Amino acid sequence: MSRRKQIYEGKAKVLFEGSEPGTIIQYFKDDATAFNNQKKGVITGKGVLNNRISEYLMTKLNDMGISTHFIKRLNMREQLVRKVEIIPLEVVVRNTVAGSLAERLGLKEGYNLPRSIIEFFYKSDELNDPLVTEEHITAFDWASAQEMDELVSMTLRINDFLSGLFFGVGIKLIDFKLEYGRVFVDDQFKVILADEISPDSCRLWDLNTNEKLDKDRFRRDLGSAEEAYQEVARRLGVLPENTNN
């Protein structure tokens, strides 16, 4: 790896300064964590697969006019992205009840919601990413009301698009998490999609068998996590020949 400045190390990615101003290199690790870092492990080859899967999905979103931070994939584990000021929210979309929604409200997993739900979590490891409402978000200036409007309408479009895309390869998009950032263009701030979209940040169930093809295989010790990520990449047509690099 060439000498370059590390900006940040997260649980699943490392960020380096990019060669051009206003760019960042995202390096995808195989490290997996769950439950706010209480559970730690490695899913071999995950970084390579998430790099490809996120590249594929972000490119499609860019093509349909949704601005994302993605610029280009650099190699097996790295992609060049635009530098953004991260909005400190995890924006979760739910189409089917699962995970923390099931727990919080005592619901059975697998219930198809009559309409999709968007939830916001304030990004704070110390506070364990608490659920917040738009009123908290605007009151504490984490995002403006206008940014929230932009972000919600982008999120709904992304959900429609990704649901259809995954459906086409026999996968049900149960829920997923997005992160947004702001960039300064033409004298104003604009909201764009950041972070990644991968089996780390989505719940993906096989359409016919309901088999889990996502990070729940790691969170819940179901085994074959690596194979599940590979299966998602294979169905999307982006499975590389070798994932060990």
Residue 108's φ and ψ, nearest 5 degrees, are -80, 140
Residues contacting ligand ASP: total by CB under 6 A: 8
Residue nearest to ligand ASP (CB): 33
- The 3-class SS string of 108-159 reads CCCCEEEEEEEEEEECCCCCCCCEECHHHHHHCCCCCHHHHHHHHHHHHHHH
**Alpha carbon distance 130, 146 (integer Å):** 22
Using CB under 6 A, pick the residue from 14, 49, 53, 202 that binds ligand TMP.
202
Q: Which stretch binds ligand TMP (CB under 6 A): 13-21, 41-49, 170-178, 228-236?
A: 170-178
Per partner kind, with CB cut-offs from 5 to 8 A, the member of ligand TMP, ligand ASP, none near residue 175 is ligand TMP
Closest CB to ligand TMP among residues 78, 175: 175
Q: What is the per-residue burial (b if ≥16 Cβ within 10 Å, else e) of 53-62?
A: bbbbbbebbb
**Alpha carbon distance 140, 10 (integer Å):** 24
**Which residues in the 76-105 window bind ligand TMP by CB under 6 A?**
92, 98-101
Q: Quote the least distance from Cβ 100 to ligand ASP, whole Å.
A: 9
Closest CB to ligand ASP among residues 10, 170: 10
Q: Are 205 and 97 in contact (CB under 8 A)?
A: no
**Which residues in the 9-38 window bind ligand ASP by CB under 6 A?**
11, 33-37
Q: What share of the chain is helix, strand, coil (3-state, %, to 5)?
A: 30, 35, 35
Q: For the window 203-242, what string marks contact with ligand TMP as x by the rule CB under 6 A?
A: x---------------------------------------
Q: Which residues bind ligand TMP (CB under 6 A)?
A: 92, 98-101, 175-177, 201-203
